[in-house]
Structure 1
Amino acid sequence: MVSGPPPFVPGVFVGAAHFYRLRVYFEDTDLSGIVYHANYLRYMERARSDMLRLAGIDQRAAMEAGEGAWAVTDLAIKYLRPAKLDDDLTVVSTVEAVRGASVIIAQRILRGQDELTPEVLTGGRVTAAFLSPEGRPRRQPAGWAERFTAIMNGETNPC
């Protein structure tokens, strides 16, 4: 007897790293079947959002309460190899630094099921600042910096 769809499966934390799986679809590619360069940024954004959600950081509630929102203030990305149609990818995210109003997150996009020898396709580093509704930097809401620090220290249950 079917009782509905299976539960949504988000990414997972393993030690200090967050792993987020995805598949490359036709819409992600250009005419040659290679992932369009801007889509790597989308994949990284999805993984960061999932990581925050799993850590108990409720971005939507902060916005709705008028506290503010995250904004990317610095981004570096290095394309090493192309992802292609139907590839299974994993975005691995790690917190590198936590400050009062910002966080730095390193991310890699990997291809391959073999965890011993995954192929690194893209690497990036993102600085996100917490901004007030007026667009000025402000301290992260209470507890968020501690959650980021917990993740950075490899606590598997940062909440």
Structure 2
Amino acid sequence: MTPGSRNAGSLPFSWPTRVYWEDTDAGGVVYHAQYLAFLERARTEWLRARGYGQELLRVEHGLVFAVRAMRIEFRAPARLDDALDVSVALRQCRHASLVVAQEIRCGGRLLLDAEVKVAALDAAGFRPRGLPETLYQELKSLEQGAQ
């Protein structure tokens, strides 16, 4: 079983990761910008678990995603060697954008929550474009209401 596959069909999706030395500052606390990488990896694996890897979307559909806006609430620090769970829950799917709710937890304790607005772009010109209809329909069916 690959990470994330244990709940690929259920929501929210969760991706496990561990904090390494390279993720931390001199005090062994996760550097604030590293949380963005954790969130990005979980969103990427969430799509991959549904059969839509980023490279497949770019090559076969001419589609890439770009973060347009992000709201982050830092609640507690993650530290060196912590085992983290990064969740992804789709809040809104529109034809050319997504709103994703994400959390990072350690042992069930909430460390961070975020709302990420993602735009669908044409891979060649980086202009807004619609999602392929099959992807749109699948994602639309995964929408969860705001909590």
* TM-score between both structures, scaled by the size of structure 1: 0.83
Q: Does 1:125 align with 2:120?
A: no
Other-structure match for 2:93: 98
Q: Percent identity?
A: 35
Other-structure match for 1:82: 77
- Structure 1: gaps (5+ residues): 1-6, 113-117, 154-159
d(CA) in 2 for partners of 1:109, 1:40:
8
Superposition deviation, residue 59 in structure 1 = 2.3
RMSD between aligned residues: 1.5
Letter in 2 for 1:30: D
Report how many residues are paired: 141
Judge conservation of contact 2:74–2:112 (CA < 8 Å) in 1: yes
Q: Deviations over 1:21-47 (max 9, x none)?
A: 111111111000000101111000000
Other-structure match for 2:143: 152
Superposition deviation, residue 15 in structure 1 = 2.9
- Structure 2: gaps (5+ residues): none
**Greater relative CO (CA pairs within 8 A, separation 6+):** 1
* TM-score between both structures, scaled by the size of structure 2: 0.89
Match of 2:11 among 9, 16, 21: 16
Larger radius of gyration: 1
d(CA) in 1 for partners of 2:82, 2:110:
13
Q: Does 1:51 align with 2:42?
A: no
**SS state of the match for residue 136, structure 2?**
helix
Q: Does 1:61 align with 2:56?
A: yes
Change (3 A) 1:110 1:14: farther
Letter in 2 for 1:142: E
